[in-house]
């Protein structure tokens, strides 16, 4: 089987929030989506010495599921459907916005460890039109519940954040074919994945360079590949361990109209989403009530 060819590579656009340094990787100047994924922000490693208790700002969503993967730190989630959770390093916060929700997330250093490091990835997963009008849903997954396996010959490990890989299966719901892998490669390790025809797949190198199918890429590169069936060979040519994010899935076949926090299938749907939000239909967040309920 042939190795897949890269279609493009690009670096992200910076867009910080408060003291968090953030790079917008998707959408970019070449692509609006990779499979069902329409958004990727990288919150780069940041040392935080104080706890942010004020949140990053409540805001609405409709038509998507948000997925925050916390590599380091802890993420506190609130939403107007009454969901609350505090998830720590290695965990995932997933929320289906359905027909409209308001949520707020706050990234802080992990209160369970001595580390002051904050590092995360946030994805938006576009929902099929038949799901966009459904009820919101929510799932919190702590790090020790994320499916993980060691790679052969002590090459590293793979975590399945969404979708499946071999016998591993994520608890995150699938509404279409999707996969999101965190692959940790030891120095000079090589690992291969085979993808079927028509599958859209991208790779993100968050911190270190790497070689993919014999092509060298830089740290911070976002790379999309062709849709032909083929092999993806990941080679960590660094002198220390490297992390690789691989994600994608089946092409999204419906129209995509993204504006602000809403991703819908037409301009009319987007206008309705804004109207309903301004009418107060998405509800409100009761921060203290949700925190108190979690404490029991």
Q: What is the pLDDT of residues 4-59, one digit of tens each?
A: 999 999 999 998 887 789 999 999 999 999 999 999 999 999 998 777 766 668 99
- Please give the pLDDT value at position 50: 77
> Which residues have C-beta within 8 Å of that of residue 256, sequence separation ≥ 6?
32, 33, 38, 126, 263, 265
Q: Give me 40's structure tokens.
A: 């990727």
| Average pLDDT value over all residues in the chain | 95
- Please give the pLDDT value at position 55: 61
Instruction: Give the CA dihedral 291, 170, 107, 240, nearest 10 degrees.
Output: 150
Per-residue model confidence as pLDDT tens digits over 199-250: 999 999 999 999 999 999 999 999 999 999 999 999 999 999 999 999 999 9
Confidence tier at 260 by pLDDT (50, 70, 90):
very high
pLDDT value at 295 more than 70: yes
- Please give the pLDDT value at position 91: 98
pLDDT value at 171 more than 70: yes
Distance of CA 149 to the CA centre of its chain: 20
Average pLDDT (264-290) is 94
Delineate the domains of the chain, giving CATH numbers in brackets.
6-289 (2.60.120.10)
Q: Give me 275's structure tokens.
A: 């109207």
Asked if residue 183 lies in contact with residue 207, where contact means CB atoms within 8 angstroms, the answer is no
- Please give the pLDDT value at position 290: 86
- Please give the pLDDT value at position 287: 86
> Which residues have C-beta within 8 Å of that of residue 151, sequence separation ≥ 6?
157, 158, 185, 189, 191
Average pLDDT (184-199) is 97
Distance set, CA 100 to CA 61, 64, 271 (Å): 6, 9, 13
């Amino acid at each position: 089987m042939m190795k897949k060819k890269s279609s493009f590579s690009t670096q992200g656009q910076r867009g910080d929030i408060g003291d968090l340094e953030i790079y917008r990787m998707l959408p970019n100047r070449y692509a609006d989506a990779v499979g069902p994924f329409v958004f990727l922000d990288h919150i780069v490693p940041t040392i935080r010495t104080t706890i942010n208790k004020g949140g990053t700002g409540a805001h609405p969503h409709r038509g998507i599921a948000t997925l925050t993967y916390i590599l380091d730190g802890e993420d506190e989630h609130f939403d107007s459907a009454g969901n609350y959770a505090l998830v720590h390093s290695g965990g995932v916060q997933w929320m289906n916005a359905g027909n409209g929700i308001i949520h707020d997330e706050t990234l802080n250093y992990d209160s369970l460890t001595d580390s002051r490091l904050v590092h995360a990835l946030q994805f938006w997963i576009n929902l099929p039109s038949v799901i966009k009008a459904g009820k919101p849903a929510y799932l919190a997954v702590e790090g020790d519940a994320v499916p993980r396996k060691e790679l052969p010959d002590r090459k590293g490990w793979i975590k399945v954040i969404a979708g499946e890989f071999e016998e591993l299966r994520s608890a995150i719901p699938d509404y279409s074919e999707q996969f999101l892998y965190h692959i940790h490669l030891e120095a000079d390790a090589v690992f291969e994945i085979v993808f079927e025809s028509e599958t859209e797949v991208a790779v993100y190198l968050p911190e270190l360079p790497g070689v993919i199918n014999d092509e060298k890429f830089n740290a911070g590169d976002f790379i999309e590949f062709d849709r032909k069936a083929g092999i993806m060979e990941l080679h960590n040519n660094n002198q220390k361990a490297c992390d690789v994010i691989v994600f994608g899935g089946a092409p999204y076949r419906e129209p995509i109209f993204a504006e602000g926090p809403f991703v819908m299938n037409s301009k009319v749907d987007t206008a309705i989403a804004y109207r309903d939000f301004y009418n107060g239909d998405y509800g409100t967040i009761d921060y203290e009530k949700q925190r108190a309920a979690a404490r029991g």
